[in-house]
Structure 1
Amino acid sequence: MMPVVIAMLRFIGIDAIGQSTFGSALLIAVAWGTSVGGAGTPLGGAHNLLTVQFLQDRVLHHEFLFTTWVVRLLPITLLAVVASVSFTVMSLRSDQERFEGTRAYFAQELRALGPMSMPERLGLGFFAAATLLAFTRELYAR
């Protein structure tokens, strides 16, 4: 995500990203977002997978489902999101009111992608199937 943010900032004319409070806030938001968001799912990082394995082997002695993790950590994750967004907004006020060109930048990048290829469609289909299977495992696991 960082390269996308940096490219977008440069596109709208912010070259000295470290000197821009908006640029700094955006980069911090991406870094914190990946960290906070990663806690919300077992696939958010290797430490989460190790925690699931530990819980299964040493504490619960049965499978710890993907949905169990998501449901139990959702309130904590939402609180962390609210706290990090609030801190970012309050402490790093933007030095600009409007950011002309951001809509055009994303429209241009989307056009440059072109239509989805067959491998991309297959990848999307497999991802959707894996997500559906992960969230419905309780229905077929036992």
Structure 2
Amino acid sequence: MAYAVQRMMHWCLVACLAVAANAIDDHQLSQDLLDLKLLGLRLETKLTILEGQLNKLSATSNKCSQGGRTGGVDSDTEVATSDTQERILRAQQAIIDISNRNTVELENLSQLVTTQTAKLANRSDAMLGLLKSSELVHRRPPPQETISQGRRHHQP
């Protein structure tokens, strides 16, 4: 019986740890996905900056090819630069939003781990209590009447 209780306690602990590990694995996958999104936003920001530089270079090239004449090219450059700045600001805001979500998810994970650890400790204490009470029941000496009756039957 004590062995069965020990085995049951062992498997309860294993199950609790598996639940906690799965929560961490799910969080890790979520974290990896958010990291990839963040990387994508950073790449988009860099691409936007490069596009802005290319627009400026193209505008300068057009201005030079027109012999220094000014016209609609400068206004096109201003619009492209403004668009580039807006895209950069949107990407930066998205990065901030992802960072905030990561913070919230980490807080939630911390609470989950704390809760699971407390539950695991309570279950462990309960299982140890069951194991100790089971051992005490099996260690009790049999009543004196049973011992003396058993001896009477075996004496010649």
What TM-score range do you get, normalising by the shorter chain?
A: 0.3 to 0.5
Q: As a proportion of its length, which structure holds more helix?
A: 2
Larger Rg: 2
Larger RCO (CA within 8 A; separation ≥ 6)? 2
